[in-house]
Amino acid sequence: MPKSNFILIEQSYIIRKGLISLIEKIPNTQVISQIDNIKDIDNIQNYDPDFIIINSNLIDKDVSDYLSKNLENVQVISLSKDHNTSFSEINWIENILLNETQNSILKKINKLIGNRISNMPQRYTPDEISEREADILRNIALGYSNKEIADKLFISTHTVVTHRKNITRKLGIKTVPGLTIYAILNKLIDLGDTK
């Protein structure tokens, strides 16, 4: 799976560290650069980020113009103290509040990553099942439990169970070892990945 790259633009050391530890909880993500001074924003050009998380206080007309000129494919997530902070200058895709819970932030980021990945054409999904089901199946084949899969994908265990039922019905394969073979034959996972 391709990695999702993040750049953080935020003055506060503590907030940056907090964000990094949060983001890196999510599989296949990394923070490739941190900028603590908006004057260094040119540094961004050295990287190829998928997401920028930026403190909304730092956004003025210049920054906004700069970002929209230089980074077409980047999605901007704003970081603000509360809903009233103005950040209308920039076309942001998601807003994170400083007092938000871990779960809520993780959910937002996961959703963005999920959208990004499912928009990528090169990703392989077998004909028989949907992309979401392929995600679940991949995790089943890797040996994760329903609960673990639910936590990883930020859905309820009940939803995982429903997906599993559908996968089994569509493929005609009931057991975990059977599903694992299917996943390997269809290159959803590598043989070496299995527990």
The residues of the shown chain that bind another protein, judged by CB under 8 A, are 171-175, 177-179, 181-182, 184-186, 191
Provide, rounded to whole angstroms, the least separation between the CB of residue 190 and another protein: 10
Going along the chain, which residue ranges are E strands? 4-9, 29-35, 51-55, 75-80, 94-97
Provide, rounded to whole angstroms, the least separation between the CB of residue 50 and another protein: 34
55 SS3 class: strand
By C-beta, is 25 or 170 nearer to another protein?
170
Provide, rounded to whole angstroms, the least separation between the CB of residue 126 and another protein: 9
How far is it, in rounded angstroms, from Cα 110 to Cα 36? 24
Provide, rounded to whole angstroms, the least separation between the CB of residue 129 and another protein: 12
By C-beta, is 7 or 188 nearer to another protein?
188
By C-beta, is 73 or 175 nearer to another protein?
175
Asked if 32 contacts 9 with a C-beta cutoff of 8 angstroms, the reply is: no
CA 93, 97, 103 angle in degrees (round to 5)? 90
Asked if 89 contacts 60 with a C-beta cutoff of 8 angstroms, the reply is: yes
How far is it, in rounded angstroms, from Cα 45 to Cα 15? 23
Provide, rounded to whole angstroms, the least separation between the CB of residue 180 and another protein: 8
Region class of 152: left (phi > 0), else alpha (psi between -120 and 50), else beta: alpha
By C-beta, is 130 or 159 nearer to another protein?
130
Beta bridge partners of 96: 79
By C-beta, is 17 or 174 nearer to another protein?
174
